[in-house]
Each structure stands twice: as structure tokens, then as C-alpha cells.
Amino acid sequence: MQKNNPIKNKSLVLGITGGIAAYKAAELVRLLVKANIDVQVVMTQAACQFITPVTMQALSGKPVYIDMWDSSISNGMPHIELSRQADAILVAPASADFLAKLMQGRADDLLSTLCLARDCPLLVAPAMNKQMWENPATQRNVAQLQADGINLLGPDSGEQACGETGLGRMLEAEALLRLVNAHFTPKLLAGKSVLITAGATLEMIDPVRAITNLSSGKMGYAIAQVAADMGAIVTLVSGASALNAPDSVNTIKATSSDAMYKAVMGQVGNQDIFISVAAVADYRPSAPHAEKIKKSNASLTLALSPNKDILAEVASLPKAPFCVGFAAETEKLLDHAEAKRQAKKLPLMVANLVSDAMGDDDNTVTLLDKNGAHPLERAPKSVIAELLLKHVVSML
Ligand code: CTP
């Protein structure tokens, strides 16, 4: 069985500088630790005015470093020792003053010295008032930092602690976690185009009623996000789903099975990979009512017509992309899924039980290809997405 947690064993130095957004760093540490990233917190003296090292120590489970002359570092050189151990340094929040310092290559406290002495990537999440962000001096500094290869995460736009609204506030912890994950994800799909369907279809009976199913879209959206993190150009054709469109993905809404078919056929031309995760209705009402159906005491019969099988049609195209199907079953999982794989002529089918998958944040799947069954451990859908895409890459 393949292990989950592909980004396990990554280690990050999280630098916190003085700004009100330092309170968001507490939630960020919690999320990073939960994602199995090893976090070493380093704070500036100014950061300690906004949040205590005790909080950060409790959340990261490690002593927090602040002082250049910390005697607890064995070789007496924390700037070398800490940066050597890290896969990346993230400074969040990064104040205007800290960005200026970084730009100049100054090293007058532990965090700035660590950044100057690093041999790993540096990511910074600016956080400041909008006037400070817009100031030509900050803009000059940011342009130079980017030219120096430093990754800028944000800033975000919106309401600020000072009461103004504009660009400059730090990205939320969830968004930063996503970007850190993206940073640590190997770019295995660079240059590849990936088309994904996700969510449920809606087949209208009348203007207010529809035939649909319980698919949440979580699995397909997770695959779209991870494929983008792996460097692919991703197009997501989404049926009904309450989720927000993933970052860096071209999302097309198509709620009926017919609209989804047309959207997929319009996009499939130059795709390298097609992953059909959507729970597409097999039937639609033959004659949807133009007006709302009024109740009566007589029984009502709904005539249904079969829909096109989008995946089977794509797989039979003369220049078909590499096609992956999803089989959601209630019984005889592997038998049904393998029969579908062969019937639809797919190199790869993902088999999952309806009870394990639908609506849940986690999933338990088995990958089926010509070499047999590859069961994956139950894991968050983002982890399943990464393992699935790695399997696809190994088969390409
Ligand atoms: N699929 C599709 N278009 C359809 C039906 C299904 O593209 N009209 C795709 C799904 O996205 C999924 C795969 O086909 O990747 C398997 O779907 P499923 O509905 O389980 O297969 P069916 O062939 O419709 O079998 P069943 O009789 O179980 O409904």
C-alpha cells in the first residue's frame, strides 16, 4: 500500500516580523504542523510585541529563536545551523522595514542574518498598511527582491487593521499553506495540459427542479489544484459544486451533462491528460417543462433519455489524451471498476466506494491499470490527488 503525506519531512523556518498580522502566524503554524511540515519559528524583537514566543512554541512544539547570541545552538552559529536544516524560509508577516532590510542585504538580527546566510528558497508574505505598500520605496524594494529570486506571497487586498481598505494585508493562513504546499510540490507536470471534470450535473425537470446527485466536487477540485501546483496548465469543467474555483486554474461552469459534454469537447483538442471525476447523470428528462409543474393527485411519470458518456467519447477520439476515469460504486468495487475501465478503454481507473468518498474531505481509492490494482491508504483528497497524478506521470 502506498504511503500518504507526500510532503512529509519538509522543514520550514517561519520568520515572524513586527506587524499586527503576526497574530495570523499562530494559525499558520498550526496548519503547517497539521500538514506534517516541520516548523522552526524565528521571531524579531518587534514581533514579540504583537504575539508571544510562548504561543509560537506551544503551536510548533519547539523552542523559538529570537536572539543572535542564543547559547542553546550547539555550534554557536544559529544563522548557519537553522538555515542549513531548512528546505525553505517563509517570512510571514514581512513588514515594510524587513523587506527594505532584505533588499539591502543587511544582517543586524537573527532573522535577517538567517535570510542572508541561507542556501534555500526564501518566501515572503508582506503585511502593511496600503500607503506603506504603495510607497515607491517599498515598490522598488519588492521589485528588487523579486529580481533576486525571492518569492512574494501576496499581499492581499481588503480591510486593514488601521481601518483603511486596500492592498497590503497579509494573505490568510489557509492561502499561505496552499502556496507553501505548491512550493514544495515537484513540478512533474510542467508543460502538460490537463482537463478535469468535477462535481455533480443538474438535469432540469422544470425551472426549479432538477435530477442531481451527492457529488461535492472536492475530489476533482483537489486534483485540479494539485495538477496546477505540479506545473500543469489546468482547465476544470465544473458541474454543480459549492466550492471556490481553485487558484491558477481555468474554470468553466457547465451544469447539465449536455453543457459539460460541449465544454469538454471544446477544450479537449490540445490536452495531454483528461481526468473525468464529475458524477455525470446517465439520463435527463426527455422534455423539460418550460413552466413549474403544478401538483395534482394523479401519479406523475417522468420520461428520461440517455446522456452521452463524455469519458467514453473522449477516450475513443483518434488523438485521445491519456484518460482517467472514476468509478463510484456501492458494491463489488474492483469488479465493477475494472469492467468500466475495459469497457471505456481507459489506461487508468480510480475505484472508490460511495460511502468512502462522496462529500467527505478524505477518500479511500484503488488505482486500476493494466498491471492490476494499486490500493492507496485513506487520506485527504489533496494527498490522493498528488498520489494519483504521480501515478499518471509514471504511466505517461
Ligand atoms: N462518465 C461520463 N459521462 C457519463 C457518465 C459517466 O463522463 N455520461 C464518467 C464519469 O466521470 C466517471 C466514469 O465515467 O469517470 C464512470 O462513471 P459511472 O457513472 O460510474 O459509469 P457508468 O458507465 O455510467 O456506469 P453506471 O452504470 O455505474 O452508472
* Minimal-distance CA residue to ligand 1 atom 21: 327
Cα 176 to ligand 1 centre (Å):
36
User: In the chain, what are the domains?
Assistant: 11-184 (3.40.50.1950), 193-285+302-395 (3.40.50.10300)
* Closest C-alpha among 150, 98, 78, 141 to residue 121: 150
Ligand 1 atom showing the smallest separation from residue 313 Cα: 7
CA distance 15 to 123: 10
Ligand 1 atom showing the smallest separation from residue 257 Cα: 8
Q: What are residue 366's phi and psi, to 5 degrees?
A: -125, 130
| Rama region for 388: left / alpha / beta (φ>0; ψ in -120 to 50; rest) | alpha
Cα 59 to ligand 1 centre (Å):
45
* Pocket (CB within 6 angstroms of ligand 1): 197, 257, 276, 278, 280, 282, 307, 309-311, 325-328, 340
Residues 6+ apart with CB under 8 A from 369: 347, 348, 349, 391, 395
8 A C-beta contact, residue 257 and residue 210: no
End-to-end CA distance of the chain: 21
DSSP character at residue 86:
-
Angle between helices 22-34 and 53-60 (to 10 degrees): 10
SS (H, E, C) 336-355: HHHHHHHHCCCCEEEEEEHH
The per-residue pLDDT string of the chain (396 residues; one tens digit each, 9 = 90 and over) reads 444 445 557 999 999 999 999 999 999 999 999 988 999 999 999 999 999 999 999 999 999 999 887 767 666 666 677 778 899 999 999 999 999 999 999 999 999 999 999 999 999 999 999 999 999 999 999 999 999 999 999 999 888 777 788 899 999 999 999 999 999 999 999 999 999 999 999 999 999 999 999 999 999 999 999 999 999 999 999 999 999 999 899 999 999 999 999 999 999 999 999 999 999 999 999 999 999 999 999 999 999 999 999 999 999 999 999 999 999 999 999 999 999 999 999 999 999 999 888 888 999 999 999 999 999 999 999 999 999 999 999 999
3 state DSSP class of 222:
helix
Cα 157 to ligand 1 centre (Å):
41
Cα 244 to ligand 1 centre (Å):
24
Q: Between β-strands 365-369 and 348-353, what pairing exists: parallel, antiparallel or unpaired? A: antiparallel
CA distance 178 to 11: 15
Active site residues: 162
CA distance 246 to 223: 10
- Dihedral of alpha carbons 43, 44, 45, 51, sign: negative
| Rama region for 76: left / alpha / beta (φ>0; ψ in -120 to 50; rest) | left
